[in-house]
Structure 1
Amino acid sequence: MTTMTDAAPTRVYKAHTRPAWRRVIVSREAAIIGILLLVIIVASATVRNFDSPLTVTYLLRDIAPILLIALPMTLIIITEEIDLSVASIVGLSSVMTGILTQAGLPFPAAALIAILTGTLAGVFNGFLITVVGLPSLAVTIGTLALFRGIAVGLLGTTAITDFPEEWTDLAKANIPGTPIPMIMIPFVVLAIVFAIVLHFTPFGRSLYAIGMNKEAAAFSGIDVGRTKFLLFVLSGAVSGFAGVYFTLLYSNARGDNAMGMELQVIAAVLLGGVSIFGGRGALHGVIAGVLLIGVLGSALRLAGVTSDVINIITGVLLILSVVSSSLLAWLQRRRAAAIGKRKGRGEATDAT
């Protein structure tokens, strides 16, 4: 008679038998950080003015919205979902900020309503995906067009450029005595919160469980629908905040603001080691992925490379990140199968 204690485990987490330092250093995230450092060193040595404080300031200002949106996007993709509507939410919140400010509303109230608009957009996405049961890819492609259409419809081809000077100055200000923009302060706070939630709480572990197998996660007691709904609401809120910052940074509210930013966000998240198939990823790798794309783009622009070529390079990096992830998984399966066969032959030899 076979008992539960006699049965062999169906799955073991061999990676966790290795020392912690090895799990940290020998990883895709560590590889991305290493590539980032290498690109910075090479660019500083070969590209004129790349390491100047002004370049650092403009680089961090430009990638700040991508850094912000990448935080909730990481959590969403870990659960094997995706949100393609984030850039259109940025545009919609930008338009709301401009319209309400132009109507005479105090800027803090206008910004709060714009963030609330982004949150409601996330609620709409989450409802269609978790309650109605539609696939996130189809839903967010549709809402990408919907939110962008509403934003363009509200302003048409006009732009609002009149914003309180104290707020635009704050968006462009640096931390005193450094070339680091002030926007990095709220980003660092959010990054710490997201990292703690993802890597050190039961909620974060449930995201990985959902990404690995949502049916098994549901049977283990995880409310899969509610968890995903919260992630899309969070994505909308952060995108709304990014839209307010985008508006102040460029002193410009237009319906086509942040056009195409969703591709940059997704490329950075996947490049940072998050699996498009869910269940894998770490926040420090994603931050390194955003910085890598930003640093590479900045260095190439200073070197005189056109934006079209930079977009091609970003696309190639995105494809390589997906292909390399699948290739590594295939190699690991082959290696595990080979080890299993060797063990099987060894047991058969011992039995004879």
Structure 2
Amino acid sequence: MVKHHEYVQRTLEHKQAFSLKKFFFQWEWVLILVFLIVLMINSNLSPYFLSINGLKDATMIFLDKAFIVFPMVMIMILRDIDISVGSTVALSSVVMATVYNSLGVPMEVAIVICIFVGALCGFINGLLIVKFKELSAVIVTLGTMILYRGIAYVILEDQASGNFPEWFSFFGWGNIGGIPFILILFIIFAIAFTLLLHKTTFGRQIYAMGNNDTASRFSGVQVDKVKIIVFTLAGIMAAITAIFLASRMGSTRPNVANMYELDVITMVALGGISTAGGKGRMLGAIIAVFIIGYLQYGLGLINISSQSMLIIIGALLLIAVAIPKVNLYHTFERLKEKRKARTRNK
């Protein structure tokens, strides 16, 4: 019987000779080019865009939702999706504010409760998906999206809750050595999740499951356990987002983080994560975070309405999903062969 680590190594770690040409024909280089184009366009649209302080301050505005991107990459590699993350953010923040203001719980404990609520929401998602395999992840998380948001409305109705201690605002607006705290934490999580996905057995199991769930199960991968862990991570990161969002706004209410799932899924899809599962790298999604984030920031500087931004983000999502994630190197080689064939025919 083929051992799991041997199966994974043969299917996922097939080593090839390094090719400089192949290296530069990767999707991430296209994203870097798009990122530079976004910077150039925004700098022409607004003279206030291209400044070091402005670019740093912008990260405080858009990086909160980016924490959800990390586990969403794993979920989409598994050929699943989680559209309840925005509702998880809302419920986690509402519970945190309520236990602090209504129950008198210390803010430090309220933050821990917030993370626990997010983890619980993610765990429920994962458990339902593995227990009811006849239901797709989109159906399950659609139901929990409505459920979690509904519970948040039951708790606070249509009211806001804030009055957080002064030190809590540091999460959203604080700096360490002139660098936004949220950017520092984002970099730490980016490194951690990149190593988890690309350098550990757990990450190799995720890729194996995305390529062939059944084969992974027969090769010894605990498929259900891996899915529950990944969805629980999504809930935890949604709770981290809730903390930063509540800190930045100074309050929370049940309708916060509305349409966050659209931004997150767009970032992941644009980052080159295949919707068919089993393909993609964390780096692409990280670059896409800054493309979408600075695009929205630049459009905001010239007073583009939020409705127009939704149209733009929706269009980007369609483009990212509709355009096949082709291997640019192989495409270039095929075009070169066709040119050679035409030359020979002449």
Within 5 Å, give how 1:105-184 maps onto structure 2.
105-133=105-133, 134-176=135-177, 178=178, 180-184=179-183
2:131 maps to a residue whose letter is V
C-alpha contact (below 8 Å) 1:97/1:253 kept by paired residues:
no
Q: Is the 8 A contact 1:15 1:23 kept in 2?
A: no
Quote the residue 2:218 is aligned against. 219
Identity level (%): 34
How far residue 15 of structure 1 moved from its aligned partner, in angstroms, is 8.9
Amino acid across the alignment from 1:164 = P
1:222 aligned partner, one-letter code = V
Q: CA deviation at 1:56?
A: 1.9
Give me the CA root mean square deviation. 2.6
Corresponding residue number in structure 2 for 1:5:
none
* Partners of 2:31 and 2:50 in 1: CA distance: 20
Letter in 2 for 1:41: M
The residue identity in structure 2 corresponding to 1:126 is G
Q: How does 1:330-345 map to 2 (within 5 A)?
A: none
Do the aligned residues in 2 keep the contact of 1:80 with 1:211 (CA within 8 Å)? yes
Q: Name the CA distance, whole Å, in 2 between partners of 1:92 and 1:20.
A: 48
With normalisation by structure 2, the TM-score equals 0.87
Match of 1:81, SS state, is coil
Aligned partners of 1:66 and 1:290 also within 8 Å? no
Distance 2:209 2:272 in 1: 18
Is 1:270 the equivalent of 2:265?
A: no
* Deviation of the 1:170 alpha carbon: 4.2
Structure 2 counterparts to residues 1-352 of structure 1, below 5 A: 17=16, 19=18, 21-102=20-101, 103-133=103-133, 134-176=135-177, 178=178, 180-325=179-324
User: 1:33·1:285 contact (CA, 8 Å) conserved in 2?
Assistant: no
After superposition, give the CA deviation of every residue in 1:176-218 in whole Å (9 maximum; x if it has no partner): 2x3x310122221111111111111121111111111111111
For normalisation by structure 1, the TM-score amounts to 0.86
Larger Rg: 1
Q: Is the 8 A contact 1:93 1:118 kept in 2?
A: yes
Q: Tell me, in whole angstroms, the C-alpha distance in 1 between the residues paired with 2:21 and 2:14.
A: 9
Matched-pair contact (CA < 8 Å) for 1:48–1:302: no
Letter in 2 for 1:25: F
Structure 1 residues 246-285: Cα deviation after superposition (integer angstroms, max 9, x where no partner): 1111011201110110110000000010011111111111
1:269–1:286 CA contact under 8 A, matched in 2: yes
Aligned-partner residue type, residue 260 of structure 2: M
Within 1, Cα distance between the matches of 2:230 and 2:316? Answer: 26
Q: Distance in 1 between matches of 2:207 and 2:201?
A: 10
How far apart, in 1, do the equivalents of 2:230 and 2:213 lie?
A: 15
Amino acid at match of 2:29: A
Count of matched residue positions in the alignment of Structure 1 and Structure 2:
325
User: Secondary structure, in 3 states, of the residue corresponding to 1:274?
Assistant: coil
State the 1:43 CA deviation.
2.3
Distance 1:205 1:303 in 2: 44
Query: 2:7 maps to what in 1?
Result: none
Following the alignment from structure 1 to structure 2, what is the Cα–Cα distance between the partners of residues 284 and 108? 33
Q: Which runs of 5+ in 1 are unaligned?
A: 1-10, 343-352
Distance 1:12 1:96 in 2: 44
| Cα distance change on mapping 1:306 and 1:279 into 2, 3 Å | same
3-state SS of the aligned residue for 2:207? helix
Q: Distance in 1 between matches of 2:275 and 2:196?
A: 20
Task: Give the Cα–Cα distance (whole angstroms) in 2 for the partners of residues 153 and 322 of structure 1.
Answer: 36
Shift of 1:151: 0.5
Amino acid at match of 2:322: V
Q: 1:257 to 1:280 in 2, by over 3 A?
A: same
Q: Structure 2: any 5+ residue segments left out of the alignment?
A: 1-9, 342-346
Secondary structure of the structure 1 residue equivalent to 2:181: coil
- The SS at the match of 1:51 is coil
Change (3 A) 1:79 1:111: same
Q: CA deviation at 1:34?
A: 1.8
C-alpha separation between the residues in 2 aligned to 1:263 and 1:20? 36
> Does the CA contact (< 8 Å) of 2:92 and 2:115 recur in 1?
yes
Counterpart for residue 349 of structure 1? none
The structural deviation recorded for 1:20 is 5.4
Deviations 1:285-328 (A, max 9, x none): 10111110111111122233222222211111111111112666
Please give the alpha-carbon distance, in whole angstroms, between the structure 1 residues aligned to 2:42 and 2:68: 26
